[in-house]
A and B are shown apart, each in its own frame.
Chain A
Amino acid sequence: MESNLAVSEKAVLAESAPTLVIRPATGWTAPELKEVWAYRELLYFLTWRDIKVRYKQTALGAAWAVIQPFFMMLVFSLFFGRLAGVPSDKIPYPVFVFCALLPWQLFAQALAESSNSLVANERLITKVYFPRLVVPIAAVLGGLVDFAIAFVVLLGMMAYYRIVPGLAVIYLPLFVLLAVMTALGVGLWLSALNVQYRDVRYTLTFLTQFWMFLTPVAYPSSIVPEKWRALYGLNPMAGVVEGFRWALLGKTEAPGPLLAVSVVAVVLILVGGLFYFRRMEETFADIV
């Protein structure tokens, strides 16, 4: 029978190049986005699974996508808007805050799901090969459905307060994209960290709360002194939230420098996240 001695001889016989060569990991390498594209059907099915499963066996179903931001809006309107008298850039406070809660919820949910995604899909990761990036991306995309549902409520509220968005509304998808990219960028870091350090799970709640207070959800960014405002954009969600208000409610000024800083910050977080994720992904199956 064949023995190992014949290895080199057989290699000569092999005419065609191998379909796949597996080698040890070699430090920092570029993220394999092409590979993710090749697995786009899996990305689609995983996203679809997350959406399908999310509200199974709940009494209220998809209404949950509305209930959460709606009640937060009520509480915020009562305490911050009415009792504390937080300014709202001349926009009725409920719309003002709801318009910010939507992208915030999208972000917070997408971040939570993606950070936990690798650990939640442990069985897949230890049993099947596919580009690991698919998992956090699918988790982030799943949040868009909830966002779309809650968005309908916002449209209703805008109609109630007779607010008609201006032309700027065409930029709205860009702000949605920015929110998703922020969630994905941070999610990539946290999900990869979470594989090794389950502390992420405990940190996340705290981080999200903390981050929300640093984001102009309950208050306008105009209360931040002018000269610090661009710096405020280092929190990309500040750019997203102000962008949403500008695009939809049209009463505030375009968030120029703040937004520019936010975009740069997101790109840095995302690219860094992609590289970090790529570096760590080879060990996921060993340590998850």
Chain B
Amino acid sequence: MRRRNFLKLSASACAALAALRLGDKDVFRPAQAKTALATPKLPGSLGAKEITSVCEMCFWRCPIVGKVKNGRLVKIEGNPNSPANGTRICARGNSGIQLLYDPDRIKYPLKRTGARGEGKWARISWDEALDEVAHNLKEIKKKYGPHALAFFDHGASAEFMRDIFKTLGTENYTNEPAFFQCVGPAALAYLKTYGYVTSGTRQYVDMKNAKAMLFIGTHIGENVHVSHVKEFIEGLQNGAKLVVVDPRYSAAAAKADVYLPIRPGTDTALLLAWMNFIITEGLYNKEFVEKHCTGFDELKKAVKGYTLQWASPICDLPVKDMKRAILLIADNSPHVSIHPGRHSTWYGRGDTGRHQALAIMAALFGAVGVKGGLYFPTPIKKGHPDFGCAEEEPDTPAKSISEDYYPFASTFGSPTSKIIEATITGKPYPVKLWGINGVNIIQTISNPYHTMKAIKKLDFVFCEEILPTETAIWSDIVLPGATYLERYDAVYTFDLMTPYLTVRQPVVAPMFEVRSSFWIARELAKRIGLECFNYNNEVEFIEEELKGAGLSLKELNKKGGIISYKANPYRSSKEFKVATEDGKVQLAVEDFADEDLDPIPKFIPTPAPPKGYVRLVYGRSPVHTFSRTMNNKWLHNEVPENHLWLNEKVAELTGIKDGEEVILENQDGYRSWPIKVKVTPGIRPDTAYMIHGFGSRSKQLSKAYKQGASDQFMVTEYEDDPFMGASSHRTNFIRIVRAGKVINLPELCPPPKDIPRFIPKKNRTGGK
């Protein structure tokens, strides 16, 4: 080079430069032919290497194929060999690439360096992070006992860390918000009626072959799980009739033959009246009930007083419409899908009962084990690796969070609301450490203000996270978890109508210093001194699981990453047997009666909105999952914010315009961030609706931060389900604040006298 004299360094600086260890030795190496940029001229994903795996953009776990070019994931498609979704994946499935390559993601272990929640972090090594977590787990257990440790988790990858908490001897090792904030009441109702969880993560309901379907609040189409939606649409294409009961005109309601815009909180009244109608009109399946059910006489007696005429003012529905709807179902029985629903933590007190009523109704129609009805899972054989996690002798606390508050909580774990209370009050015993994995608890659990108050009381809180959510910001140590595209998980079996076995495996190498959940749990166990996780890596135990299915990972991959099986969903009358003690469907649940709970559901009125307020309900967007995907660029582009659905008459009377930005104020005075109003006839005047998961309060989520309003931050009032302790989410009410001025909303559907009005905390005298 003909050098100009731009740079003149002193001799000492030159010497210093020469002497410095500049770390350039291991940065580059000569290119190897095999790593040369492959097929550069082929456009898009053509010529890409294909790796089969399993999606985790929601919990449905669709089989996928990752297309990798030059070390970069360029496209995700459905696994063409999948009998469930085929090549189809949803918008979220496509957008997994954006999660993987989101610059906001957590890249290294982080340690809080400022006050908790202040958001000051420093990157630390894995050794330091794991040592610190292990130290705190040991010390807190030593000081306060094992139950001072609590674990909040969601998803398959959290299971390894859960094993650590379990092995440490706490009863608070499985407090999945998935159960206690979502599916718990439905799961319990079906478990006790049929002996298996007809509605848990998945719903065993044969919509594809149904002649009629009944949805109570279920909004498939907005709530998208590919094979589930596919079966619903195929059912409609085959001519199935559809009844939708929902205070909001949902995507499913738009396809309904009968749409019943019910008053929120009165679904059980409708179901009880329908059951009475079915029985008194002789529309039930007498043979099925006689042969395969117990408790019919008690049921008949219990529902006797619930007539359609009684239900009409309560549900705010005309008798003729209610009758038309149930006749439509009855005329097509037994081939009817009484959809069990999933998210069922609505109103607290009546939630288990509502889903029990749905379960009973399916049985009354004989819609179980037949085409179009509820069906039986098809178990798929696989090996069960022994991780060797030795459980300590259970040290039952004098008063147990899991067992002593709600009789059926321990079926699922410890109720989240009770753990939070114990953390704040120290009663029934102190909870001092939280581990969190796969769930943004602040945007998930009722009353986030309560949750944040509890976190401030903890001695230590750590999480494994992919994105810097609100939960990460409140953590002392943040462990960077690998996305589903960077890690192995266990073998997955799908036991629904299209049974298959597949495995999640990495599509690309983990970025930065993220690690798989198995690796993290194994390293942590070593440091705590637990004899846990006998396998060196995921492949070892996956091989063990596959061995039980007569396969190896190599063979499975050779077969396209997935093996299909023949479904066995139906039963003849002779074969019919459910998994209850006597093999019969329990129309009256003795276990409930044994605990002084109603063996047959009763109508328990849910308090109506206070004057000036409407009830806040929420739902899903087809392109988002809970609060997990709002920072995803593609999905954000499609649905960047949520809107508040407000009835057009309410809007007209208050002068609120479509598209206007307002603030919401709930009954306890908590205010939301700004949200635009969608004025519509598609919502009842006593109800407002928004999509869940928006209004992120984490500034680090650069696309999601402050986009729309958070329904969760309006849920400050909740009631626990008395059966299993799940917390309600639809027991809150909002009014509108516009330009700083509070607007009371007019009451256009006053509740009948049977329904008491909700009294906000500030107006209560005594009691809660």
**Same complex origin of A and B:** no
